[in-house]
Amino acid sequence: MKKQLAIAAALMAAGSASMALDYYSSSANVVLTGSNMMTEYNAGQGSMTSGTSWTLNVNGGEWNEYGAYYVFKAPAGTTVKLNGTTSGVTSNLPSTGVVYCDVSVFAMRVDPTSPIAGQTAGPVPGHPTTVMPYMTDTMLSGYTGTSSAQAYADGYQYFDYSGTYGSYIEAILNYGANVQNFNAGGVDISEKGVYASWNEQTGQPGAGSFLSDVTYNGIGLGRVLCDQVGTFDGVVTTTGTGDYYFVVGMKAGHGAAAAGSVSFSNLNISIIPEPASLGLLALGAVAFLGRRRK
């Protein structure tokens, strides 16, 4: 099925590389609003209302999709959990045709708005990690493999609908399964930072709470390199040293000609430092108090 994925130039122009990012080195609870979901995705296909309760408005037109994302940084060892409920999401997308809303959460070492390193058209069998060959929709239509593992072995690493994605975040917001694809290709990105999604025609997300027990029920379920078919509890954990970029992205779209929208409220992210770091902070506080008592 053809999916229009023309990405506005503003996606890269307004990327995190050109603006100061929020940095969280201690515990925090951040409410997601139309203000901190700072950068639009497919700016020409919709608009956003800001505030604690905010809305993604998708323009009329077949296969239009629109969204926004929030990029911030935190030290390695930080756990980020996206919290929400089904009552905090109200869909006014068209009642006919395919409709969907995707939520992406992931962490990676490199700037997610940077170009995809080693990007090249596949297949490149046995390629080194310095090469990142993609599969387009045209390539997929003639591909006979039945699993992503097979596609990797055959020389494809991630999915790029038209071969034009300019950055990691662009590839992931279009197809959340690219989180696993990049991870398998050697990119330091959180493997479990995948997306939850629903298609109104299938009754989701009523089978479970938002961001929990929700599987992707979109058209083309199980296409290699394209479709995430697992569940996602909203938790992303990092390890090691240094800093990570964290991304929370949301996108709504439809296959109908009519316009529509999805409204969000009561969504927040819990930022939890590594337990060992908390312990060191506590010991430091005790030592400080001890010095003051002397």
CA distance readout (Å), 267 to 103, 120, 190, 193, 248: 11, 37, 21, 17, 11
In a domain, 279, yes or no: yes
Residue whose C-alpha is closest to residue 74's, from 285, 238, 287, 249: 238
- Tokens coding 17: 């590389």
In a domain, 146, yes or no: no
Average pLDDT of span 174-183: 87
In a domain, 96, yes or no: yes
Q: According to DSSP H, which parts of 41-123 are helical?
A: none
Question: Where does the pLDDT of residue 154 fall: very low under 50, low under 70, confident under 90, or very high at 90 and above?
Answer: very high
Contact present, 214 and 196 (Cβ < 8 Å): yes
* Predicted pLDDT at 11: 41
In a domain, 260, yes or no: yes
Residue whose C-alpha is closest to residue 4's, from 44, 57, 39: 44
Range of the domain at 199: 10-116+172-293
Average pLDDT of span 177-201: 74
In a domain, 142, yes or no: no
Question: Where does the pLDDT of residue 122 fall: very low under 50, low under 70, confident under 90, or very high at 90 and above?
Answer: very high
In the predicted model, is pLDDT for residue 212 greater than 70?
no
In the predicted model, is pLDDT for residue 267 greater than 70?
yes
CA dist 151 and 145 (Å) reads 6
Average pLDDT of span 19-45: 87
In a domain, 136, yes or no: no
In a domain, 19, yes or no: yes
More reliable by pLDDT, 56 or 286: 56
**% of the chain with per-residue pLDDT over 90:** 37
DSSP state of 6: P
In a domain, 263, yes or no: yes
CA dist 3 and 203 (Å) reads 22
* Predicted pLDDT at 90: 77
Helices and strands counted in the chain (H then E): 6, 17
Q: State pTM to two decimals.
A: 0.81
The total of structural domains in the chain comes to: 1
Q: What is the total residue count of the chain?
A: 294
CA dist 51 and 31 (Å) reads 10
CA dist 178 and 276 (Å) reads 31
Contact present, 78 and 113 (Cβ < 8 Å): no
